[in-house]
Amino acid sequence: MKLAKDYDSVMGRSADIMKASLGLDFNDFESGSVAFDYEGLMKATGYTIEEVDKIQSRTGVGHTQLLELRNITKLARKYAKPGYGARIFAKDEAANASGSFKDRRAACAVAHAKKLGYKGVIAATSGNYGAAVASQAAMQGMKCIIVQECYDSHGVGQPEIVEKARKCEALGAEVIQLTVGPELFYEHLSVMEDSGYFNASLYSPFGIAGVETLGYEIAMDCREKFGKDPDMVVCTQAGGGMVTGTARGLIKAGATDTTVVAASIDLTGLHMASDEQFNKKSCTTGHTGFGVPHATNPDTGDVPRSAARPLRYMDRYVTTTQGEVMYMTEMLANLEGLERGPAGNTALAAAFALAQELPEDAILVVTETEYTGAGKHIQPQLDFARDNGIEIVFGDPKDDVPGKNIVLPSDPGLFRVKDMDLDKLRKSLIKRSVPRANGKKLTAEDIAFLAADTRSDEAFVKAALDELGVEY
């Protein structure tokens, strides 16, 4: 019987489609309410961190260099008080096969798909992950489809997204490009159902297990070079996979005292699903438009339960601005001779300010990622911004207004970070989780789960539920 392919019908079959496309039954981990067995889901990959490392090593992924950014450190110390200004290091993830840390996720997912006998893989992504999946699929002799949200309703695409599509196609993938809106996951599910391909989701346990090696390597690199664990690791926060996987890898290495900081570009006021506002942003990832929703409502992607749960692992969540990130991209090239794209430089821009809070003997590591290319340079991004009516000025980044201007710092001393209110985000996650109980009283298991999911305690969860008037 031919299946109906209208939006409601496909979305109604989403659980069955995802089950067939991942080889995992998420019902095995459900409690029937808010809670689910998160660690059980992660263990269901069947791979130890050592086995993931072997998988990645076979396809040119992992064991990237830890580079000291001596000149940037020196500049940060110029603006820090005496005795302060941590040594800044970059874990250079652009050295991976397709040019970003996303290769770690893709290597594990694609290898598992090959092992299970799937003929191809599919992923919904705006860019770097698509290139990673395409690269790994080519190495494994598999077909690849990338579904990409690319254009506004006028057919105008951001330079960075268009560049990423070019790279996916160059690596042999079929790229399906869509306009902004709710059709992304509908199209992804529909094509996945028709093709029978493996869902190489960013949010599957295979993807997050792949990132654990990043955190593990950072800890081991620091012990080998300095005889101690890093004091702070700064990760760009978008979908939450880098923060989650890196932190889990640090924990598996025993680096439990390392402070994990998430960093996003502040794009407050711009709606990511708005056709009008889609091209008002000049960086396509690593911003609060993805970072906040994925932190507070992780189970909204292309798997029933996301393995990326960043609020479980972040010690701080800070924001920077588009202008600071663009300035940092130029600074990294001019002072350190490294051209890298905006996703990693979001973390580096935050780290430049954060380093000034730490003593000189502290070690701060940035998970620097990604390759740069035609659409990833700041000049096409700034030109694109001007074409969309965005004012470009030098000044104080505190005057940045997303969608109206980009303020490039007139002096490096103007770099700063703003701390997000983690308790506010925690309460938001709890509020968004409650509907899963379908009106039933929350159980002790639910409360314990929410405490772990928000990195709080049961007293905090109960107080938040009391504010919401939810029974438990």
- Residue by residue, pLDDT tens for the chain (472 residues) are 678 888 888 888 888 888 889 889 999 999 989 999 999 999 999 999 999 999 999 999 999 999 999 999 999 999 999 999 999 999 999 999 999 999 999 999 999 999 999 999 999 887 789 999 999 999 999 999 999 888 888 888 888 888 888 899 999 999 998 887 767 778 888 999 999 999 999 999 999 999 999 999 999 999 999 999 999 999 999 999 999 999 999 999 999 999 999 999 999 988 776 777 777 787 777 899 889 999 999 998 788 899 999 999 999 999 999 999 999 999 999 999 999 988 889 999 999 999 999 999 999 999 987 888 777 888 888 998 999 899 999 999 999 999 999 999 999 999 999 999 999 999 999 999 999 999 899 999 999 999 999 999 999 999 999 999 999 9
Give the DSSP per-residue string, 161-205: HHHHHHHHHHTT-EEEEEESSTHHHHHHHHHHHHH--EE--TTSH
| 7-54+100-205 and 62-98+210-419 agree in CATH topology | yes
pLDDT of residue 376: 80
The dihedral over CA atoms of 346, 351, 353, 357, expressed in degrees to the nearest 10, equals 150
pTM of the model: 0.95
pLDDT value of residue 449? 98
Instruction: For 255, list phi and psi in degrees, rounded to 5.
Output: -90, 65
Beta bridge partners of 438: none
CATH 3.40.50.1100 applies to domain 7-54+100-205: yes
Interatomic CA distance for residues 136 and 60, integer angstroms? 10
Distance CA 366, CA 425 (A): 24
Q: Pick from 201, 174, 206: which is nearest to 189 by CA?
A: 201
The pLDDT, as a whole number, for residue 1 is 61
Q: Rounded to an integer, what distance in angstroms lies between the CA atom of residue 298 and that of residue 334?
A: 38
pLDDT of residue 182: 67
Domain ranges for the chain, please list them: 7-54+100-205, 62-98+210-419, 433-468
- 162-166, long-range: CB within 8 Å, 24+ apart, which pairs? 162/375, 163/127, 163/373, 163/374, 163/375, 163/376, 164/126, 164/127, 164/128, 164/130, 164/131, 164/375, 165/127, 165/130, 166/373, 166/374
Q: Say which DSSP state 415 is in.
A: -
DSSP-derived letter for residue 21 is: H
Could you confirm whether domain 62-98+210-419 is CATH 3.40.50.11030?
A: no
Residues 6+ apart with CB under 8 A from 4: 10
- Tell me the residue ranges of DSSP E strands in 166-312: 174-179, 198-199, 232-236, 259-265
Q: Report the distance separating Cα 367 and Cα 352, nearest Å.
A: 13
pLDDT of 377: 84
Residue 423 DSSP SS3: helix
Helix (H, G, I), strand (E, B) or coil at 291: helix
